Chain A
Amino acid sequence: MSRVAGAEVVEIELPLREEVIARLEMGEMCHLTGVIYTARDAAHKRMVEALDRQEPLPFDLRGEVIYYVGPTPPKPGAVIGSAGPTTSGRMDAYTPRILDAGLKGMIGKAGRSRPVIDAIVKHGAVYFAAIGGTAALLSRSIKKVEMVAYEDLGTEAIRKLWVERFPAVVAIDCHGNNIFEEGFKKYAAE
């Protein structure tokens, strides 16, 4: 991680190292570079079912980052289609289990439930928010894509993405500071 003096953006290399997570603060704009995995509703359901049956997961979650996204089909010649974040709250029912299994970071949009925030603190993880609706822009920082599992789920399949300077905000840091509970206070009237 390099923090250039006066620069507003924190450059982060993946996988996330513990000391990097420890230094991230709610509200910081970051650029992520490295490998992330996609998974949304249906893939989460399958992963948790696999954990219940004590079966191996399609990839080793330990230390990894999951991006909640269901991209559009790529145009011919494109690496990926438009790929912005989906609503993270829909994954809340599964997330504590996934964090127990070793996941360190998540990228999505909007707030998380109390149990998820508690699990983030417990495991020293971090939740990033990408900017919802900026899917054409975000797909530009995705350089390579590989199918990992659940291909039958189409847009909801698990894919491995190589990203370069992928923009995301630290929304919930490892201390449990939550921008969706704190952010508005400074700007609310009365």
Chain B
Amino acid sequence: MILEQLHQHNNITIYTLNKIVLTQFKNYERETLDFIPEFNVLTGKNGVGKTNVMDAIYYLCMSKSYFGHSDRQISKHGCDFFRLAGDFTQGKKTLKIVAKVKNGSKKEFEKNGRKYDKLADHIGLLPIVFITPDDNSLVRDGSAERRKLLDNTLAQSDAGYLQHLIRYNKLLRQRNAALKKFAETRQVNHALLDTYDQQMAAPAREIFHFRKQMTSQLIPFFQEQYNEISAQAETVGLSYKSALNDNDFPSLIRAAREKDIILQRTTAGIHKDDLVFTIGDYPIKQLASQGQLKTYIIAIKLAQYQVLKSIKKYPPILLLDDIFDKLDNQRVTALVQMLVKRDYGQIFITDTEPGRIRNIIKEKNAMVREIERV
């Protein structure tokens, strides 16, 4: 078991999920799955719910679905309740995490039988990175997806970040509602806008610094990961685009006020930030090949993995869903061999063909467990 030797050698405490029990989660009535600390390959035909198991693992770590499915959508059809239980170990410690979600009541998360007061307190305890074909939206869709990448990474690495973000977003929603109300009553309360602007300034400043720093932490890892999987020497880049790069928040939002009043929403602030992806000197959007794009996106996600690992001092869980989708065999082989070679933690991969992953890594002495779903 080469991974364990590696970890012991580097003095890293690996954390692993040993068992998960799904109750009325998506298509599962009740299912218990056992895992090993190395490679876990979930095989089965399309539509059997492999991705749902991955999302269940993600849910236990992040207290929500990776795909943005609401709790109501997650409950098995016709049920108003679902439950997830995961047995984790970290070094000699055992952690039992339980999620109980019932329609119409507050969702509950427990750690070793103790209920969390706030879900936010759980985020970051069990770092996790999920790579899925859905990640194409990082390039294809609007800036919200890219902010989500930064927010997700920061929320898992710093408890304070989430507090600032929650505060900013609540104030933003109130400010927008106030702007709507002013339009209805045709009366603008400038003093109230002053109040929101002032209250938002401190969290905006914090979020800006966090995001800026995170972007620069991601860049070297991104370059390294990209070169490794693509075997190309191109320079890839990330830059953080924010109006706060050139302005302070109070003057930014002050300058936008007249526009905000007309449009009835807050048009400037860190909720407009973006990440710019480049390759060579060009924006990534101009890339033609699907394979190249895929490699690019996987490299970004692996950079996220490496950043979290360097901050947490232990490797996150890595979920790889359907990587054979649009990636040729050669690229997948390179990727999987890299995952075996380096000190990654526990890995979960889904594949429609049993044995394919095992064939790639057969010469390496790593453990692979295939979990068949029919």
Whether both chains belong to one complex is answered with no
Which residues of B are in contact with A by a Cβ distance under 8 Å? none
